[in-house]
Amino acid sequence: MAGELASTRAVSRTFAPVRTPLLIPTWVIIGFFLVAPVLMMLAYSFLTKEFRGGVIWEFSLAAYDQFIFDRGLFGDEPPQIEWTYIVIFVRSIIQAAVATLLCLIIGFPTAYFIATRSPATRSMWLFLVTVPYWVNLLIRTVSMKFLIRDNGPLNEALMGLGVIGEPIALINTDFAVQLGLFYSYLPFMVLPIYASVERYDFALSEAAADLYANRWTILYKVILPIVWPGIVAGCILVFVPSLGAFLAPDLLGGAKNFLIGSLIEEQFKGNAGNWPFGAAASMILLSLVLIALFIYARRQARRSAQAA
Amino acid sequence: MSEQDIAIDVRNAVKRFGAVTALAGVSLTIRDNEFFTLLGPSGCGKTTLLRLIAGFEEITEGEILLYGEDIGTLPPNRRPINTVFQHYALFPHMTVAENVAFGMRRLGWSKADIEDQTGRILDLVKLGDLAARRPAQLSGGQQQRVALARAMAPRPKVLLLDEPLSALDLKLRQAMRIELKQIQEETGITFVFVTHDQEEALTMSDRIAVMSAGEIRQVGTPHEIYEAPNDRFVADFIGETNVLDVTVQRGPDGAWHSRLPNGAVFPCEAAGTPPQDGAAAHVLIRPERLSLVPEAESNSGLTGVVDQIVYLGTDIQYGVRLDEGPDVLVRAQNVGSDTTSFRNGDRVGLAIAPGGARLLVD
């Protein structure tokens, strides 16, 4: 162990850095396809809207104003807080949080199960987890819709078994949306947790059992703290796309309860056609996510500084 | 022996992994306050036996008693036995003090008692000033001490040690041997120590069980195991041994002798099954019980030619090709004088120290 420690510390730096010229394509791609669109959105959010899509290059705070304040139908009443969009945001955060929790509850045991199989069968299990994702997200979401509709296989089966008397209304509910999000993003939870459990040394569980810990104590005091980074990574990878998702809310929630994703989609594709407003909503969403991640990173840094 | 004197009583323990039999019916008693070593080559079942006692593996057949109480079916967290793991298995997210306190916390000790005992144990292993460090900030030797402190802190009835010194370098390993033995004597905890290193076993143990192929070959004090191995495996595994084919011959005084094919006869001790007069047998002689003498002075009738000289520092080891029989090793202390040393190609006789030859019947 001491040897390993020493050798990781002493890793030669000669092979560590990638030569700068080799990085040029990476920087170009990231700059062009990642940074530039975000900057464009940021710019659009401060421009004036053109009816039926597009923008007029004229500075305006109207988009943000519309998000936060209600000034009446003709914009001449005293400003009041506009709750519509805030409610949509809060609802979206709740939906994404529930989906993340569902993913965690199902994903952790799945990842743990795979990581504890023999090395030969692990790759088969991982493959099976990713198989549904070879099919397009839209098709998967539509098939989910067929599965859970009132006269779909799920309700038929439950009625056939006599568990329920009449179909449970699943489709077009919040739960259907959560289920859809859960199904869409489960592998993003399983894979990072798998990666950290796979590196976990199970001798630590034996040591804990040897020192009088029961199964739950081993899980809470030893396994979870050690695989924590994988859990956090999985939660971020599920929560963030769930927050902006629009397919599952549209198809499974029946667009009854508007979510952020659908709101933004409407501004660019739908009838609303308000690009600056869509861009502003995106920017607010992005800022919230970044602030949350930043606070988390700060707390982690402080905690590890305390430990050292 | 009363029940109080027996710490662990293993009765006919069998462990199978699928079709593989790791332990083939092992019976063993380990005494209270004893430093007991399970010694054997890798794959001999010594670690499996340790894991059965700890509770990490389920016993297939047989019983394990701890001070008279059957613990064979209890999970590891309900056995008052702690383990020092080969690669330490320290909790990386906890400090040294938290690692040491882990077992006591689970047992529900009071905060004051835990603090007290943590301090005392860390002082015992000389880590008092490193209590706030994380395992990753410690050297291998220090991690080893933390593992020992963590296992001893909850005052187990028996401490199991699974090759705890194997990851340390030689100097540290030698120092730790003496320290472990001292700690065992100070605390009075029964130690069950697993190793494949015969030197380690000989230096530290009160008694040793030599294992091979899932069975115990011999149990005894280091002295008994080394001086009086009761089969060839034990003799070969513990130290180096010369084996000669001989014929058993009973002397006029009733003592046992070995007759070499060339007719030479020398006295020897009988081990294990009493030999039959005139039967074919082996004789075992440790290299350090042989010495090189001028050919005419041999007391054994063994003669040959020096064909290898290996300088070992404290010792010099000679390889001698016998005129009749196999090559043998002879080990002489390096006393630094040239007058007694022999050269390659010299014809020599071999002298056997009194009691140095041991007769074995297969």
Using one digit for the tens of pLDDT, what is the confidence trace for A67-83?
Answer: 888 887 777 788 888 88
- In chain B, the percentage of residues whose pLDDT exceeds 90 is 45
Q: Cα–chain-centroid distance for residue B358?
A: 20
pLDDT at A213: 94
What backbone torsions phi and psi does residue B29 show, to the nearest 5 degrees?
Answer: -120, 135
Domains of chain B by start residue, with CATH? 3-235 (3.40.50.300), 240-360 (2.40.50.140)
Position B26 pLDDT exceeds 80: yes
For chain A, the C-alpha Rg in angstroms (whole number) is: 24
Domain ranges of chain A: 26-307
Q: Give the torsion through C-alpha atoms of B287, B293, B294, B296, to 10 deg.
A: -90
Measured between CB atoms, which of A203, A209, A225 is closest to B76? Answer: A209
What distance in Å separates residue A100's CA from the closest CA in chain B? Answer: 26
pLDDT class of A125 with cuts at 50, 70, 90: very high
Q: Which is more confident, A98 or B251?
A: A98
Do B26 and B61 meet the contact criterion of CB atoms below 8 Å apart? Answer: no
**Residue labelled with tokens 């395992």:** B135
Using a CB-CB cut-off of 8 Å, the residues of chain A touching B138 are 2
pLDDT class of B158 with cuts at 50, 70, 90: very high
Average pLDDT in the B300-326 region?
A: 86
Average pLDDT in the B194-200 region?
A: 91
Q: Token pair for residue A60?
A: 């305006």
Position A9 pLDDT exceeds 70: no
Q: Give the torsion through C-alpha atoms of B338, B343, B348, B354, to 10 deg.
A: 50
pLDDT at A307: 62
Using a CB-CB cut-off of 8 Å, the residues of chain B touching A210 are 54-56, 76-77, 81-83, 151
Instruction: Identify from A201, A210, A216, A219 which residue to disrupt to test chain B contact, counting B C-beta atoms within 10 A and taking the largest count.
Output: A210
Do B302 and B295 meet the contact criterion of CB atoms below 8 Å apart? Answer: no
DSSP bridge pairs for B327: B321
Q: Which is more confident, A7 or B68?
A: B68
- Residue ranges of alpha helices (H) inside chain A are 2-9, 20-29, 36-45, 62-68, 83-115, 119-130, 137-148, 153-160, 174-199, 203-210, 215-217, 224-244, 247-252, 260-268, 275-307
CATH code matching the domain that covers A26-307, chosen among 3.90.550.10, 2.30.30.90, 1.10.3720.10, 3.40.50.300:
1.10.3720.10
pLDDT class of A55 with cuts at 50, 70, 90: confident
Query: How many C-beta atoms lie closer than 10 Å to residue A101's C-beta?
Result: 15
B93 interfacial to chain A (CB closer than 8 Å): yes
Q: Please indicate whether, in this complex, the C-beta atoms of A207 and B136 are within 8 angstroms of each other.
A: no
pLDDT class of B94 with cuts at 50, 70, 90: very high
CA angle B10, B15, B19 (to 5 degrees): 160
Measured between CB atoms, which of B56, B87, B154 is closest to A1? Answer: B87
Q: Please indicate whether, in this complex, the C-beta atoms of B140 and A217 are within 8 angstroms of each other.
A: no
A305 interfacial to chain B (CB closer than 8 Å): no
Measured between CB atoms, which of A207, A212, A307 is closest to B89? Answer: A207
Report the chain B residue with the minimal C-alpha distance to residue A211.
Answer: B103
Q: Please indicate whether, in this complex, the C-beta atoms of A204 and B89 are within 8 angstroms of each other.
A: yes
* Closest residue by Cα to residue A62 from A45, A80, A82, A84: A45
Amino acid at A11: V
Q: Which is more confident, A219 or A56?
A: A219
H or E, element range at B151 = helix B140-152
Average pLDDT, chain A: 86
Position A38 pLDDT exceeds 50: yes
Using a CB-CB cut-off of 8 Å, the residues of chain B touching A207 are 83, 85, 89-91, 150
What distance in Å separates residue A186's CA from the closest CA in chain B? Answer: 28
Average pLDDT in the A245-257 region?
A: 79
B102 interfacial to chain A (CB closer than 8 Å): yes
Using a CB-CB cut-off of 8 Å, the residues of chain A touching B192 are none
pLDDT at A188: 93
DSSP string, A102-145: HHHHHHHHHHHHHHTS-HHHHHHHHHHHHGGGGS-HHHHHHHHH
A4 interfacial to chain B (CB closer than 8 Å): no
pLDDT in tens, A19-35: 778 888 888 999 899 89
Q: Which of residues 143-162 of B touch A (CB under 8 A)?
A: 143, 150-151, 154
Q: Please indicate whether, in this complex, the C-beta atoms of B83 and A210 are within 8 angstroms of each other.
A: yes
Q: Please indicate whether, in this complex, the C-beta atoms of A212 and B106 are within 8 angstroms of each other.
A: yes
Do B225 and B234 meet the contact criterion of CB atoms below 8 Å apart? Answer: yes
H or E, element range at B285 = strand B280-285
pLDDT at B2: 59
pLDDT class of B3 with cuts at 50, 70, 90: low
DSSP code of residue B278: T
pLDDT in tens, B214-269: 999 999 999 989 888 888 888 888 888 888 888 888 877 777 888 887 777 888 88
What distance in Å separates residue B128's CA from the closest CA in chain A? Answer: 18
* Closest residue by Cα to residue B352 from B293, B300, B282: B300
B222 vs B213: CA distance, rounded Å? 21
Measured between CB atoms, which of B91, B136, B141 is closest to A204? Answer: B91
Do A219 and A229 meet the contact criterion of CB atoms below 8 Å apart? Answer: no
What backbone torsions phi and psi does residue B192 show, to the nearest 5 degrees?
Answer: -115, 115
Position A2 pLDDT exceeds 50: no
Average pLDDT in the A169-179 region?
A: 85
B167 interfacial to chain A (CB closer than 8 Å): yes
* Closest residue by Cα to residue A275 from A58, A42, A55, A40: A55
A40 vs A31: CA distance, rounded Å? 12
pLDDT in tens, A233-249: 999 999 999 988 888 88
Position B175 pLDDT exceeds 60: yes
What backbone torsions phi and psi does residue B154 show, to the nearest 5 degrees?
Answer: -75, 15
Q: Which is more confident, A200 or B295?
A: A200
Sign of CA dihedral A60, A63, A64, A68: positive
Average pLDDT in the B133-146 region?
A: 91
Average pLDDT, chain B: 88
Average pLDDT in the A178-183 region?
A: 89
B136 interfacial to chain A (CB closer than 8 Å): yes
Position A8 pLDDT exceeds 60: no
pLDDT at B271: 63
pLDDT at A4: 40
pLDDT class of A7 with cuts at 50, 70, 90: very low
DSSP bridge pairs for B14: B24, B61
